[in-house]
Amino acid sequence: MAKTVIVGSDHAGLELKRELSAVAAELGYEVVDLGTKSSESTDYPDYAHQVASAVARGEGLGLLVCGTGIGMSMAANRHAGVRAALCGDVFSASMSRQHNDANLLCVGARVVGPGLAAEILKALATALKAAATSAASRRSNLLHEGRAGRALSRAARAISAQMELRGLRTVRP
């Protein structure tokens, strides 16, 4: 089966999405473009949800582009099984795949230029997941299982207790 990348953007990310689609094709990916295909103003959540749904079904890796990438990543991460990473540098993109099993890349067209965005995509697409026995894999599994929220609450309570011992003011988690 061919490697697939499912792409989507709003109007602000249209041109960069087109450029990154060409990069993905050069890397050997079949590119499935779910829109937008027009520079007319659109609502980014529509495209984020379409791409994230396809990624959640296991149809391929995802790529979303909007003005900043923030809204797209927030919308995409609402889908079970999607691990969208908003990346503005090559190191974060590589680590998001290796240590967090990212399966959807979000990029801000108004934040990074086409050259850097291409390198970010290449870094995520070529990075291998960390070994199954690694701590990174264990943490990724915690995310998949939904246990990270409970772990975060315990950690937040521990940090809050330490701050109170030092006489620092905290907000209760």
H-helix segments, 57-112 = 70-76, 90-100
Q: How far apart are CA 154 and CA 36, in angstroms?
A: 42
Catalytic residues: 66, 99
Give CA torsion, residues 156, 149, 70, 114, to 10 deg. 100
Q: How far apart are CA 171 and CA 173, in angstroms?
A: 6
Residue 48: in which H helix or E strand, if any?
A: helix 44-56
